Structure 1
Amino acid sequence: MNIKPTLLIVEDEPSILRGLTDLFVFHGYDVDSESDGQQGLERGLNGQYNCIILDVMLPSLNGFEICHRLRQHSPNQAILMLTAKNAEEDIINGLTLGADDYVAKPFSTSELVLRVNALVRRSGISNAQHQLQIGDDVTLCTHQLVGVSYQQKMQYTRREVSILSYLNKKKKAVSRDELLKEVWGYKSTEHIDTRTVDIHIAKIRKKIEQDPKSPQFLVTLRGEGYQLFGSQV
């Protein structure tokens, strides 16, 4: 018997919540839902979900705080946030607090299903190596998602480790589209409109670079993509 992937949806608008629940049940998910932020957080902390969908504006506790606390509790938890359309600040805030991806309202249901399916596919994949060294002063454990940078302890998300592991494996420049396909798990990026790669790269640089504005390890090569220098397993 196939075990259904589990999904938690935290959304306070009844019509959207009903529609999303029906949508993902139709696509083979076992769905739990909450319309209150505090209750959504408690269910997220106490349950085991392949993915959690969070709206930003919620009663009692907003989606940003829920995301932050879920990420502190479980670095491996897959989280997707629903943001207001063109709300750049919401997008950056959500990804900075640890969301793996976002979809802007009003959204295409097919795009939302694609994003969630990609997160669920990747959430069960672990990295082969367990220790990654970057330069002389940065080390991280890809299994425990922790590391030390310039004598400071660092906590990483599963997505950040997946990006670093993939770049370390490739040993060459990797395009944004390749990262979306190979790390995020999208089968096609033709209609994907997201800044999630750029924001994750910026987050990683803050953890592994002495000067994130002038990176020496995670470098952008114009017209080619991102390349990780000085890394070894």
Structure 2
Amino acid sequence: MDKKNTNITILVIEDEIAIAEGLVDLLEFQGYHVKHVADGISGLTEGLSGKYGLILLDLMLPGMDGFTVCDKIREKDKDVPIIILSAKNTDKDIIDGLKYGADDYVPKPFAVPMLLARIEAVLRRSRQSMEGDGKLAAGNLRVNFREYSGFRGTEKLSFTRKEIEILEYLWNNRDRAVPRAELLNKVWGYENAETVDTRTVDIHITKLRKKIEDDPSHPCLLVTFRGEGYQLRETPD
């Protein structure tokens, strides 16, 4: 048992009893406190209670699907980490999960060490305090990191916690291109970032461009340098 986990309670929202029981046993063995609910409506109620350090969320749930649960939790709580666990693993499913505010998306079936690493990474990042003055000003873009909001010109914007973490890290390192592996390490918390599928970074960057760029198909603020990484510029290129 890992004693550092004993002050963290994880909510498992999963209707397949065998999977749920396996997750509860696994997480409790790791030292976490665990609460399990088996339907979307109960999951939403528990998820909005503010009692949990992390939520593991299935998508195909009775009563209310996981996408809706995630979306409604994010409307009220920008901070609680959410990891989707689902047999729905197409690119569209992953994009939708991240669009609704999930911090990570783990397809079923999953390897136990990989799942534990994802949980630890999300929790580690959740505990880290952000640096800087809490604001971004680039071209016609203004973002308040602490309020998860901003403006592109006169259009009001809102961001998920993960989007804010990406923007803030890129902003604090705006003098250079930041490699994908560095984003996975510093923003997602993966220790062996080079071995992790990078689609999650690309998906988040695409989502961010749709919000912050005047023309997302021709980005001038959040730009890509092939073979090097991403750079967030103070002035449009």
Instruction: Report the TM range for the smaller structure's normalisation.
Output: over 0.9
Q: Could you say if the C-alpha distance between residues 194 and 48 of structure 1 is closer, same or farther in structure 2, counting changes exceeding 3 Å?
A: farther
Match of 1:208 in 2: 212
- The one-letter amino acid of 2:28's match is V
Offset at residue 47 of structure 1 (A): 3.0
Aligned residues: 230
Partner of 1:219: 223
Q: Which residue identity does 1:145 align to in structure 2?
A: Y
User: What is the correspondence of 1:131-150 to structure 2 with a 5 Å cutoff?
Assistant: 131-135=135-139, 137-150=140-153
Match in the other structure for 1:62? 65
Aligned mates of 1:8, 1:195 — CA distance in 2: 26
Within the alignment, does 1:122 sit opposite 2:131 as a pair?
no
Partner in structure 2 of residue 155 of structure 1 = 158
Write the deviation string for residues 1-20 of structure 1: whole angstroms up to 9, x where unpaired: 96521211101000000000
Superposition deviation, residue 194 in structure 1: 4.8
Q: Which residue of 1 aligns with 2:180?
A: 176
Please say if residues 11 and 36 of structure 2, whose CA atoms lie closer than 8 Å, have aligned partners that are also in contact: yes
Q: Which amino acid aligns with 1:195?
A: R
1:165, CA displacement in angstroms?
A: 1.1
Distance in 2 between residues matched to 1:100 and 1:152, nearest whole Å: 25
- Shift of the alpha carbon at 1:148? 1.2
CA RMSD of aligned residues (A): 1.5
TM-score when normalising by structure 2: 0.92
Deviation at 1:64, TM superposition (A): 0.4
1:67-146 equivalences under 5 Å are 67-84=70-87, 86-128=89-131, 129-135=133-139, 137-146=140-149
How far apart are the structure 1 equivalents of 2:206 and 2:144?
A: 20
Higher RCO (C-alpha under 8 Å, 6+ residues apart): 1
Q: Which amino acid aligns with 1:22?
A: D
Shift of 1:158: 1.4
Q: What percent identity do the matched residue pairs reach?
A: 47
Q: For residue 165 of structure 1, what is the aligned residue in structure 2? A: 168
Q: Distance in 2 between matches of 1:95 and 1:173?
A: 24
Ranges in structure 2 where 5+ consecutive residues have no aligned partner:
none
1: distance between equivalents of 2:198 and 2:21?
26
8 Å contact kept, 2:180–2:198 = no
Query: Normalized against structure 1, the TM-score is what?
Result: 0.94
Per-residue CA deviation, residues 98-126 of structure 1 (Å, 9 max, x unaligned), is 11111111101110110011111111223
